[in-house]
DNA sequence: GTAATTCAATGACCGCGGTCATTATATCAT
DNA sequence: ATGATATAATGACCGCGGTCATTGAATTAC
């Protein structure tokens, strides 16, 4: 009968998926990832447990999805932050500002718990052909731009590509956050980040004092 | 009766613990961590399931114990390796040799799977007041010695302590391994390690060519 | 129109890590 | 010796993530 408004099968499936997704989101928000189980989610969504697994790989992958979605949203804010910096600021200073800012955001808005879960999930499953760690794509671009500008302005070495350096920076940043997650609350994320990136900028080799202007 | 050989309670308990430990070790070796469950372990040890949890925190913590024990044993070999290097080798070169060696060992003797499990477990539980990440203590010492020697010989900057730098290096190394675990087999561990540590040694700031001897 | 096909949806079921009230026994106090 | 205490050992039990053979309803083929 319903020849007009009748949703086709794909639409229906998408609706089911979305009901599960939104139910999970709400429940997680209300009670946290640990306290909510898959049965709770499907109950609120009004579907059978099996349906959850028709639409999602696992509880963990759904959590990873939600967190990285959130992280991405937050990452978008860094661009604004960077634009707010004095336009003449040298790339190395801009980089450290950004790093400090990221530490603030992670420490205050995201929290160690969520980062820990994200990192655990990311290393815990070998499913993805690249789906993982995608959440730092935006961040990569920002690093890249700063570094690229630094190279153009001869402030950074030119024998390495900005892309290469940016990759290493993202990796280093991840190492710092991992350390922070594992050793919390022994270490302060911001301090650790800044020190590490200072090191990364200048290296540890002795500098000939004559080299300064 | 057995008034002589009769073990006291602590000895008995230690024996039970050891039987569980060894059974687990054997089974894991034979079948891998995933395929062996706690019931298998206690069955082989000839004890009840509850006993497992009298002596061990969790299956994961036992696995972490075994892996980090293994890693520690392997780390011991690095000392020999370092001693085999030409005694006059500059600290920065020695450091890169060591890093390369570590990458080889991790890649070939330990394997990505074990490292992944170790990293996952380490970030997955908030139990330890310091029990975690202890396995890299030996490695830390080696890094420290090289760096310390580099500072004394004015090859490395002297405004940072060797301890501080060594900590950052361990952290960086962990970041590299994490990346490798997560992105395997896209990236080559050795190449990644060496490049990253070269960066860490020299920094990314442009070098005045006049600075060279 | 009808049969064949496809795939979302279902929920009983399973495996496994982990718990806990209870039991057994070595050690200690008297 | 005897009762009190501490703790190792037990195993039935639970919660939860995940599975899979089966069902039901669109979609396609004829």
Query: Which residues in chain A are closer than 8 Å to B173, comparing Cβ atoms?
Result: 175
- Count other C-beta atoms under 10 Å from residue A158's C-beta: 11
B173 CA → D15 C1’, Å? 39
Asked if pLDDT for residue A7 goes beyond 90, the answer is no
| Nearest CA among B115, B119, B117, B108 for reference residue B34 | B117
H helical segments located in chain A: 9-31, 38-45, 49-55, 59-84, 91-105, 112-124, 137-152, 162-183, 189-202
Question: Mean pLDDT across the stretch A35-58?
Answer: 98
| In contact, B150 and B156? CB cutoff 8 Å | yes
* Contact at CB, A174 and B172, closer than 8 angstroms: no
* Contact at CB, B204 and A200, closer than 8 angstroms: yes
- In angstroms, the separation between the Cα of residue A55 and the nearest Cα of chain B is 24
Asked if B44 CB < 7 A from strand D, the reply is: no
| Nearest CA among B203, B177, B172, B171 for reference residue B190 | B177
A174 CA → D14 C1’, Å? 38
Looking at residue B207, its pLDDT comes to 61
Q: What is the per-residue pLDDT across A91-117, written as a single tens digit (0 to 9) for each?
A: 999 999 999 999 999 999 999 989 998
Looking at residue A169, its pLDDT comes to 95
Give the confidence band of A194 by pLDDT, cuts at 50, 70, 90. Answer: very high
Question: How far apart are the C-alpha atoms of A97 and A92, rounded to whole Å?
Answer: 9
Give the confidence band of A212 by pLDDT, cuts at 50, 70, 90. Answer: very low
Looking at residue A129, its pLDDT comes to 42
Looking at residue B206, its pLDDT comes to 64
| Nearest CA among B48, B35, B72 for reference residue B20 | B48
Which residues on neighbouring strands pair with residue A156, listed in sequence order?
B205
Looking at residue A133, its pLDDT comes to 63
- In angstroms, the separation between the Cα of residue B114 and the nearest Cα of chain A is 11
Task: Tell me the pLDDT of chain B averaged across its residues.
Answer: 88
Range list of β-strands (E), chain B: none
Mean pLDDT by 10 residues, chain B (213 residues): 55 95 98 97 98 97 92 90 93 96 95 90 66 75 94 91 94 95 90 96 68 46
A131 in contact with chain B, both atoms CB, cutoff 8 A: no
Question: How far apart are the C-alpha atoms of A52 and B138, rounded to whole Å?
Answer: 46
Question: In chain A, which residue's Cα lies nearest the Cα of B213?
Answer: A208
Give the largest Cα separation in chain A, rounded: 86
B4 CA → D6 C1’, Å? 23
Cis, peptide link before residue A16, omega less than 30° from 0: no
| In contact, A92 and A201? CB cutoff 8 Å | yes
Q: What is the per-residue pLDDT across A119-171, written as a single tens digit (0 to 9) for each?
A: 998 887 665 444 456 778 889 999 999 999 999 999 999 999 999 999 999 99
- In angstroms, the separation between the Cα of residue B63 and the nearest Cα of chain A is 15
A171 in contact with chain B, both atoms CB, cutoff 8 A: yes
Residues 2-21 of A with CB under 8 A from B: none
Residue nearest to nucleotide C19 (CA to C1'): B50
Looking at residue A122, its pLDDT comes to 87
Sorted by sequence, the CB contacts under 8 Å of residue A170 that are 6+ apart come out as A136, A139, A140, A143
Residue nearest to nucleotide D8 (CA to C1'): B13
A194 in contact with chain B, both atoms CB, cutoff 8 A: no
Q: What are phi and psi of A127, to 5 degrees?
A: -55, -55
Question: Mean pLDDT across the stretch A17-22?
Answer: 98
pTM reported for the whole predicted model: 0.90
Residue listed under structure tokens 């980062």: A115
Q: What is the per-residue pLDDT across A78-89, written as a single tens digit (0 to 9) for each?
A: 999 999 999 889
B25 CA → D11 C1’, Å? 24
Asked if A13 CB < 7 A from strand D, the reply is: no
């Amino acid at each position: 009968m319903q020849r007009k408004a009748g949703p086709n099968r794909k639409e229906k499936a998408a609706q089911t998926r979305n009901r599960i997704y939104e139910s999970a989101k709400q429940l997680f928000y209300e009670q946290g990832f640990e306290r909510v189980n898959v049965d709770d989610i499907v109950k609120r969504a009004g579907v059978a447990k099996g349906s959850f697994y028709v639409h999602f790989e696992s509880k963990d992958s759904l959590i990873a999805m939600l967190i990285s979605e959130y992280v991405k949203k937050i990452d978008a804010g860094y661009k604004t932050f960077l634009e707010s910096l004095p336009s003449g600021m040298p790339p190395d200073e801009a980089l450290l500002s950004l790093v400090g800012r990221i530490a603030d955001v992670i420490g205050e808005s995201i929290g160690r718990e969520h980062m820990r879960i994200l990192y655990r999930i990311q290393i815990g499953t070998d499913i993805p052909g690249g789906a993982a760690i995608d959440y730092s794509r935006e961040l990569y671009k920002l690093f890249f731009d700063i570094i690229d500008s630094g190279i153009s302005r001869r402030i950074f070495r030119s024998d390495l590509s900005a892309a290469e350096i940016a990759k290493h920076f993202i990796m280093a940043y991840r190492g710092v956050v991992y350390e922070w997650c594992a050793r919390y609350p022994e270490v302060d994320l911001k301090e650790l980040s800044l020190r590490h990136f200072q090191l990364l900028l200048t290296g540890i080799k002795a500098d000939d004092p004559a080299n300064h202007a």
